[in-house]
A and B are shown apart, each in its own frame.
Chain A
Amino acid sequence: LINCISFPCPFFAVYQVFESVAKKYDVMNDSMTLGIHRVWKDILMHKMNPCPGTLLLDVAGGTGDIAFRFINYVRSVRQRQLQRKLKQHQNLSWQEIFESYQKDKFNSLGDSQVVVCDINREMLKVGKQKAQHLGYSEGLSWVLGNAEELPFDDDKFDVYTIAFGIRNVTRIDLALQEAYRVLKPGGRFLCLEFSHVSNPLLSRLYDLYSFQVIPVLGEVIAGDWRSYQYLVESIRQFPPQEELKAMIEDAGFFKVNYDNLNFGIVAIHSGFKL
């Protein structure tokens, strides 16, 4: 039986949920998924495989998990690029090598940039604090915005990601249209989200865990049963893999496909703007 908590309007409900969960968001994610959400996000980044110079828009990026991974990834790719360059300079003097290294050192991200966009001020605040704490500053910006009406020009970004955020958008079709609009031609859409488990036995175990354990974790860790009850219910109401694929295609994307992670508990959908 799935019953929705009655709120005055769905948009306000979602906003309030994330206002109260912002500070405990990361702790709750680790507790609920036993840390596995980190692996899912790593897989997303590997699928993206960004090269230095990429301009990424991470929507509903709140506390920065995707943004930080992106920065780490392009930094290490850049590092390897620089090392390869240095190897080519085998016949230069030490002075020349030192100078060329210095020049590139100040461009450790290779002009890559990530814009984190979230509708919720509290989540952005937590994200900025995390960035400061972990030492991320270069190539990172934080923008308050609504996925259904993005504050960006057309054809701006190379990649658009939305990780565990599209589920909370009231009009998914509008969010997909906006994603299409702000991506450059050739740009890629990537969505990481809870999806549907088709295996019946696993589905029952998953339901049992979701409904019996997750709200309890929410109450004990975050003092907030209702928000996590909402989370579990919203996962079940979200379109399954094929339906979401069709919606992405409707927004104009091509070569849309999806990968199931953990038997469909989570899925990564991908599409291109051509």
Chain B
Amino acid sequence: MGGWHQLYPGHIPTSPLQKALLAAGSAVMALCDPYRHDMVAVLGETTGCLALPNLRDKMKNHPEGYRILQERPRIRLSTLDMARLQGLPDGSLGREYVRFLEDNKVSPDTRMPPKFVDDEELAYVIQRYREVHDLMHTLLGMPTNMLGEVVVKWFEAIQTGLPMCVLGAAFGPVRLSTRKLQVLATELVPWAIRSGLNSSCVLNIYYEQRWEQPVESLREELGIFPPPAVPV
């Protein structure tokens, strides 16, 4: 068992055996009980040992990503000026993000802090990935229903390479109806894959400094194709 070298608040050092057991256990539990969001988080942390350094390097080698790693911005209700964002013009990132939070009744504060990542910078990277997830929804125009979440997972799987996203993308669809599966397979997933491959790294955008930018303009800048006109 590792010594108690806590690298960041909330860090729980784990041995390789513990990580393996956690990965297996959290995968099973996440499938058995879909309300255990904490298990999805644990799965992401214990299996991300290859993908996270990759992501961190992509950020380091990009001017905006590098700044994010230095400044470590956090997306939280306490740090967001909701009134200002609501006052922004329709179609802007800030306005659409707030609209997304309200429509889907979600809050940026429900993201789990990392526990099992044994590197303090990588812990931030996975935290950043979790906190910009809602912005992914906004950029892709996907709601937080099962179908929307699966689409976002496909996009994220391509973008980040995190095994947890790959598993979510692969197993998420099992709970969908046939009609939705059809829409998913024929329109949404191909679009998500194309956009994911074409887009530059979404973690290299300093979203907090681009609230005024129109969503369409940001999509173009990244390389995300316009979402298909199907009901989700």
Contact of A225 among B3, B12, B15, B39 (CB under 8 A): B12
- Within 8 Å CB of A216, what residues of B? 18, 21-22, 25
Min CB gap A98→B, angstroms: 53
A215 and B18 within 8 A (CB): yes
Contact B29 A212 (CB under 8 A): no
B3 closest partner in A (C-beta): A1
The answer to whether B17 touches A219, judged by C-beta atoms less than 8 angstroms apart, is: no
Q: Are B15 and A212 in contact (CB under 8 A)?
A: yes
Cβ-based interface call for B38 (8 A) = yes
| Contact-residue bracket for chain B | 10 to 19
Task: Categorize the interface residue count of chain A.
Answer: 10 to 19
Does A3 interact with chain B (Cβ within 8 Å)? yes
Tell me which residues from 125 to 141 in chain B have a Cβ below 8 Å from any Cβ of chain A: none
Within 8 A of B (CB), among A222-264: 223, 225-226
| Complex partner residue of B115 from A1, A3, A213, A225, CB under 8 angstroms | A225
Bound CA span A145–B216, Å? 64
Tell whether B165 is near chain A: CB-to-CB under 8 Å.
Answer: no
Q: Is B1 an interface residue (CB 8 A)?
A: yes
Contacts of B39 in A (CB 8 A): 220
A220 with B17, Cβ < 8 A, contacts A1-B1, A3-B4 known: no
Contact A217 B25, beta carbon cutoff 8 Å: yes
Choose among B3, B4, B15, B28 the residue with the greatest number of A CB atoms under 10 Å from its CB. B4
Q: Which B residues form the contact surface with A (CB < 8 A)?
A: 1, 3-4, 12, 15, 17-18, 21-22, 25-26, 28-29, 36, 38-39, 42, 115
Interface residues of A, Cβ cutoff 8 Å to B: 1, 3, 211-213, 215-217, 219-221, 223, 225-226
- 10 smallest CB-CB distances across A and B, nearest first, come from A220-B25, A216-B21, A211-B1, A3-B4, A212-B17, A220-B29, A223-B38, A216-B22, A212-B18, A225-B12
